[in-house]
Amino acid sequence: MTAPIPPSLNGRRDRDPFWVAVSAVFGGIHRVRRLRQPVLPPVRPVERDLAMVVREVRREAADVVSLRLAAADGRVLPAWQPGCHLDVLLPSGRRRQYSLCGDPADRRTYRIAVRALPAGAGGSVEAHGLAEGDALRVRGPRNAFPFLAGERYLFLAGGIGITAILPMVHAAARAGADWRLVYTGRSRTTLPFLDELPAERVTVRTDDVDGVPDCAELLSLAAPGTAVYCCGPAAMIDGVRAAFPAGTGSTLHFERFAPAPIVDGKPFEIELRGSGVVLPVPADRSALDVLREAVPGVAYSCRQGFCGTCRVGLVAGHADERAVSDADESGLLVCVSRASGGRLTLDL
């Protein structure tokens, strides 16, 4: 931009010839610069809500299938990094998160893997019923478990937790980092993707042969200054966190499949605006769990405060917001939020 030309230096309101000349010179330079700048195509917003089709279903372990998904219109897919997950909207309307476990360089397909949980809420069983050609919608990819550049890694994967860890392992190998993976599970037949891992850097520990792993022993494999990435069942995460040594310069990064236990929760009440029903929420339960008993159709997915599915309008009361993301949106994430005292009235 060129500056506005000031009035005449001798005090008259007409423009001073000196400044007119200066402005002409700089204005010309500015125009030439603009002409020399490359013309960039307009930035297209990244498409985050995609219609997909199942291209391949593979059995990867006793109760695990992988699904390879492609855009329904064949387009190139948004880029992703190790640690990213997809929000998958299943045909029933259930929304679930699955880690991307394929190759980030493959921009035509995404791979996810699902362990069947017959006693779960139905999402995993439904995903196991998908077949080639079935249509799905997905949102993302989103990254709640970023993988940071480093020189030394210890990866700890428990069962289906390998899905988040697998692309990190390959990225570390490609980068020439010093890495090691401990992969745990009930038995070898329950561990997906074993054939995609280089055996020389992987230690497999299964409950049927080695017993339940000792987290302090697993962490003893981390030399000082190691980045430890852990994904697995809640007991594994909690055990690793509790045993993680302080003062070694090592760092711990983890992702849960299941909600973290409620710590220091206080009881409170929720009132449903539509019916006036008041529900007590005990100190050790979430508002979502209590709500689901009274209103079975309440939508939810991650139960950890990052997907936004359980967001409900807050009509009255003061909430202790614990959302992990999307903090700019209004409403309450009932899976993690609690009242900072008294009662919350929800728009239900």
Binding site for ligand FES (CB under 6 A): 300-303, 305-310, 333, 335
Cα 95 from Cα 307, distance rounded (Å): 9
Which residue's CB is nearer to ligand FES, number 136 or number 332? 332
The distance in angstroms from the start CA to the end CA of the chain is: 53
List of residues 6+ apart from 153 with CB closer than 8 A? 168, 172, 177, 178, 179, 180, 226, 227, 228, 229
Q: How far is the CB of 48 from ligand FES (least distance, A)?
A: 16
Q: How far is the CB of 253 from ligand FES (least distance, A)?
A: 20
Q: How far is the CB of 259 from ligand FES (least distance, A)?
A: 9
Q: How far is the CB of 141 from ligand FES (least distance, A)?
A: 16
| Ordered strands of the 278-281 beta sheet | 278-281, 268-272, 343-346, 314-316
Which residue's CB is nearer to ligand FES, number 191 or number 334? 334
Cα 190 from Cα 63, distance rounded (Å): 7
- How far, in Å, are 116, 141, 184, 216, 221 from residue 208 at the CA level? 20, 36, 11, 20, 22
Which residue's CB is nearer to ligand FES, number 230 or number 288? 288
DSSP class of residue 5 equals P
Which residue's CB is nearer to ligand FES, number 117 or number 243? 117
In the beta sheet, which residues pair with residue 120? Answer: none
Q: Cis omega (within 30 of 0) on the bond before 141? A: yes
Q: How far is the CB of 46 from ligand FES (least distance, A)?
A: 21
Q: Dump the DSSP string for 40-55.
A: PPPPPPP--EEEEEEE
Which residue's CB is nearer to ligand FES, number 92 or number 248? 92
Q: How far is the CB of 210 from ligand FES (least distance, A)?
A: 34
Cα 113 from Cα 95, distance rounded (Å): 15
Which residue's CB is nearer to ligand FES, number 96 or number 115? 96
Which residue's CB is nearer to ligand FES, number 171 or number 334? 334
Q: How far is the CB of 51 from ligand FES (least distance, A)?
A: 22
Q: Are 292 and 300 in contact (CB under 8 A)?
A: yes
Long-range CB contacts (within 8 A, 24+) of 236-243: 236/156, 236/158, 236/161, 236/184, 239/215, 240/156, 240/215, 242/215, 243/215, 243/216, 243/219
Helix, strand, coil abundance in the chain, percent, nearest 5: 20, 30, 45
Which residue's CB is nearer to ligand FES, number 123 or number 232? 123
Q: How far is the CB of 314 from ligand FES (least distance, A)?
A: 14
Cα 202 from Cα 190, distance rounded (Å): 16
Which residue's CB is nearer to ligand FES, number 291 or number 307? 307
Phi-psi map region of 142: left, alpha, beta (phi>0 left; psi -120 to 50 alpha) = beta
Q: How far is the CB of 333 from ligand FES (least distance, A)?
A: 4
- Other residues' Cβ atoms within 10 Å of the Cβ of residue 204: 16
